[in-house]
Structure 1
Amino acid sequence: MGPHPAVAAVRLAVRTALADLSPGDVVLVACSGGADSLALASALAFEAPAAGWLAGGVTVDHGLQLGSDTRAEGVAATLRGLRLDPVEIARVTVGTAGGPEAAARTARYEALDAIAEKLSVAAVLLGHTRDDQAETVLLGLARGSGARSLAGMAARSGTYRRPFLALDRSTTQRACSEAGLAVWEDPHNLNAAYTRVRVRHGVLPVLEHELGPGVTAALARTADQLRDDADALDEWATRAAETCVGQSGVDVAALEGLPAAIRRRVLRRAALAAGSPANDLSSGHLAAMDTLVTDWHGQAFVELPGGIRVHRVDGRLELGRV
């Protein structure tokens, strides 16, 4: 008799996501102790010996809750109980930039990046599910974000891999139950002060009720489709930037003939290269830059976040600090 379907599903997802790795490659699972990441850790622990991967785990202590250090030790013990090795605890200090959710995410990824580099890992596994993907798309819609944001999370992004993006949260919960794993329910996941929590427990259930089941899956499919489009547009913009952007600035004549979607991507690259912070650079800023190309009538300059000023001079855009 084989494993329960939920257990089989999470194992297959991990096996598929890591099919390109070789024996001896180091794989880490980032684990909070919740159902998604615990199911991921359990699946990795099962698959690694046969594949010859060196499988370890890391848990991040954000220090935002009383007893978080004890909780991190407990998660680490669970990972060791699954025979993952090495197991690391990353203790971080969470800042304030971008709000509590964004600040915690930034601190978490910085810690994961550092450990991945230290251990020369081939992949870091993250437990995001189809439900998380749907929430990400809805948040992007609410913010009026562009195609890249609505494309959600990629199954692969550098060292990071998300094997569970095609699985729903109920599957990971059932996999943990079948494996006898004690799941930790993070109190922050019930705190309505967080936007994502309100989407998870308020907005998505209403959509499923009013529009019928399948909304979560449809939002995830939308992300997949938009990611293909965004990837194609980004590739086009990369090629365009090679001819438009130089040491002396951005060539206006070369930009003028490009579609708006490509033109603004090139302008965004130029702004970031000049030092404008990505998190603060909005579509409004890019639209203002675009007027220097498509609707220029002698405007003096455009101000960008980070103290960057954009001038049009002799047929090119020059970007520099004030």
Structure 2
Amino acid sequence: MWAVTKAVRAWWEKHGRPAQLCVALSGGADSLALTAGAVRTGAQVTALLVDHQLQEGSGQVAHHAAEQARQLGCVEALVIPIVINDENGLGMEGAAREARYAALDMMRAGRPVLLGHTQDDQAETLLLGLLRGSGPHAIAGMSDWDDPWGRPLLGLRRADTHAACAEHAIDVWNDPQNKDSAFTRVCVRHEVIPLLQEISGGEIVPALARTAQLVREDADELDSQADTILREALQRSDGSGELPLDSLRELPLPTLRRVLRLWLHAHGHTQAGYTHLQEVARLVTDWHGQGPIALPGGDIVKRQDKALYFVPVVPAADSASSALSMGCGHAHGCRHGH
């Protein structure tokens, strides 16, 4: 447990010693070890347990983990039942992830949320990005802080969290889906990485994670530059939410794509991939009166005169309220504190 405690405390001190933290807890070794480490910082820790209701007995697993969280010293443990709807065509794995993050964000009450991702997850994320032909943001993997998400364990291996739980006799739930090869990440974990290690003749997870970190540093710097360009462009806006194009037309295409990606993110749209960004960029660089660009989920980008406009599929307020379906009447109905 020493390695986990040290990693969590280092993250906590690096990020201003927040007095209150949330931990996303599943009942697995990574999140249980993280919970124990978070409590040892001295912060008030609330465990958030999302029940996806996709497996029989999932509610029982969640409530058992909530009791473990209280025994570990959490001031509160909240079980959050959700209903998964794949309305955006993400597949059940992607839809579950979107709904899980929406639930955590809704229930965190302004507090940082710690996630149990390890160096192994970082390596898997890089390989998944390569398999999908994704851009640098996907292969960059994960940051230790992506407001409001904190990842203190990115420097540790999955074996470290299992060892920590075994050392303190913490009962760990082994999700059967983590052995289901129907999930791409499971195939990468149990088939691709072992094969790559056999080919290379050594441990590859640290090397893959290091590559992800280097790409992350470059991506963050380029995003910072793109953000400056976007802010300067928006200063020319008349206040109606449009993106003026005068200063964007001569940008290099990779820079323009980053600016457009950040602009879409500012409107709450995070699903547009390379193909969609290319089409939106053509509204800037190759404008000849083409129609609006349909984005995943139904949002639209259109050009009118010398500006781009983002048209959401539903009003922002409705979008926030429909992001997830809670399995209880209101937040307090889900509370499982002392």
Bin the TM-score by the shorter chain. 0.7 to 0.9
What's the CA shift for 1:312? 6.5
| CA offsets 1:103-144 (integer angstroms, 9 cap, x no match) | 211222222222211xx53x3211110001111111111111
**Closer, same or farther in 2 for the Cα pair 1:311/1:113, shift >3 Å?**
closer
What's the CA shift for 1:23? 7.5
Return the match for 2:178 from 181, 189, 195. Answer: 189
Return the match for 2:68 from 69, 72, 78. Answer: 78
Question: 1:256 maps to what in 2?
Answer: 249
List gaps (5 residues or longer) in structure 1: 1-6
Question: 1:106 maps to what in 2?
Answer: 98
Name the SS of the counterpart of 1:144 in structure 2. coil
Q: Does structure 2 conserve the Cα–Cα contact (< 8 Å) formed by 1:131 and 1:168? A: yes
**Closer, same or farther in 2 for the Cα pair 1:24/1:293, shift >3 Å?**
closer
Aligned length: 304
Identity of aligned residues (%): 40
Return the match for 2:270 from 266, 278, 287. Answer: 278
TM-score (norm 2): 0.82
Q: Does structure 1 conserve the Cα–Cα contact (< 8 Å) formed by 2:51 and 2:59? A: yes
Q: Distance in 1 between the 2:262 and 2:36 partners?
A: 41
Q: Does structure 2 conserve the Cα–Cα contact (< 8 Å) formed by 1:131 and 1:169? A: yes
Name the SS of the counterpart of 1:95 in structure 2. coil
Return the match for 1:291 from 269, 282, 299. Answer: 282
Q: Distance in 1 between the 2:18 and 2:150 partners?
A: 18
TM-score (norm 1): 0.85
Q: Does structure 2 conserve the Cα–Cα contact (< 8 Å) formed by 1:274 and 1:319? A: no
**Letter aligned with residue 96 of structure 2:** A
What's the CA shift for 1:42? 1.9
What's the CA shift for 1:151? 1.3
Alignment of 1:114-263 (within 5 A): 114-117=106-109, 120-121=110-111, 123-245=112-234, 246-247=237-238, 249-263=242-256
Q: Distance in 1 between the 2:16 and 2:188 partners?
A: 39
Question: 1:34 maps to what in 2?
Answer: 28
Name the SS of the counterpart of 1:205 in structure 2. helix
Name the SS of the counterpart of 1:57 in structure 2. strand
**Letter aligned with residue 251 of structure 2:** L
Q: Does structure 1 conserve the Cα–Cα contact (< 8 Å) formed by 2:22 and 2:113? A: yes
What's the CA shift for 1:27? 1.7
What's the CA shift for 1:299? 4.8
**Closer, same or farther in 2 for the Cα pair 1:270/1:110, shift >3 Å?**
closer
Q: Distance in 1 between the 2:189 and 2:304 partners?
A: 46
| CA offsets 1:158-191 (integer angstroms, 9 cap, x no match) | 1321111010111111111111111110001011
**Closer, same or farther in 2 for the Cα pair 1:112/1:293, shift >3 Å?**
closer
What's the CA shift for 1:102? 1.5
**Closer, same or farther in 2 for the Cα pair 1:258/1:65, shift >3 Å?**
same
Q: Does structure 2 conserve the Cα–Cα contact (< 8 Å) formed by 1:41 and 1:79? A: yes
| CA offsets 1:202-252 (integer angstroms, 9 cap, x no match) | 111111111232321111111111111111111111111133342485444
Q: Does structure 2 conserve the Cα–Cα contact (< 8 Å) formed by 1:288 and 1:302? A: no
Range with bigger deviation, 256-265 or 31-40:
256-265
List gaps (5 residues or longer) in structure 2: 314-338
Q: Distance in 2 between the 1:21 and 1:318 partners?
A: 37
**Letter aligned with residue 282 of structure 2:** T
